[in-house]
Chain A
Amino acid sequence: GQNIDQPTEMTATEGAIVQINCTYQTSGFNGLFWYQQHAGEAPTFLSYNVLDGLEEKGRFSSFLSRSKGYSYLLLKELQMKDSASYLCAVPYGGSQGNLIFGKGTKLSVKP
């Protein structure tokens, strides 16, 4: 079966760096997604990792270790607008996979 774990809440200071971890168990790996969801809004795509290593995209980076079943999202130079929930998700069902989401990590950025 599939299982995704991520911390429920995190707090960080404006301008700082924060790392949001995600561990997963899945039968058949087909990549890992990170989505951002502001309160009351739709999830928006941040990143997709299918190979091990770090992928950088501006202030956001995502890391994947398939052997450890582990990923993290790194947010640099935090801004107040980064306060949101961050959802880790993995497809299931082979290449035809739908997304299984974690419960999300609610990040609060303080001034």
Chain B
Amino acid sequence: EAGVAQSPRYKIIEKRQSVAFWCNPISGHATLYWYQQILGQGPKLLIQFQNNGVVDDSQLPKDRFSAERLKGVDSTLKIQPAKLEDSAVYLCASSPTRGGTEAFFGQGTRLTVV
């Protein structure tokens, strides 16, 4: 079974630039999550999708972050414009159902904002 795929693996941008990350969840998984993991900390949920609908985006900085999952499969996370404090690993995860089951994580995209 293929795992959660993310790209790119690494990205370096200057502050105020834009960046986008892509995620392809495990086939058949209805729930998709984007997490932000700052160095030395645990992952922090940014947004959760159930199929193509947003379930929870309460911790997403909506002035600069946006995410979509148009066809209920792939998802993209965008930052526009980036700030220095956005430097982190952005993890995508998927699970078959909401809550109570394990989430499977992708390798993440390491973003460095300079």
Contact = CB atoms under 8 A, between A and B. Distances in A.
Contact of B91 (A43, A50, A91): A43
Contact of B41 (A43, A98, A103): A103
Interface residues of A, number: 27
Interface of A: 4, 30-31, 33, 40-45, 48, 50, 87, 89, 91, 93-104
A6 to B, nearest CB: 9
Chain B interface size band reads 20 to 34
Interface in B3-57: 4, 33, 40-45, 48, 55-56
The 8 closest A-B pairs by CB, nearest first: A101-B42, A42-B105, A45-B102, A97-B99, A96-B98, A98-B45, A43-B105, A103-B42
B113 interface: no
A99 B45 contact: yes
Q: Is the contact region of chain B dominated by helix, strand, or loop, or is it mixed?
A: loop
A71 to B, nearest CB: 15
A102 B42 contact: yes
B56 A104 contact: no
Contacts of B110: 40
A111 B80 CA distance: 46
A42 B90 CA distance: 10
Interface of B: 4, 33, 40-45, 48, 55-56, 91, 98-100, 102-108, 110
B26 to A, nearest CB: 12
Nearest to B44: A101
B107 A41 contact: yes
A100 B55 CA distance: 15
A80 to B, nearest CB: 22
A89 B105 CA distance: 14
B56 A99 contact: no
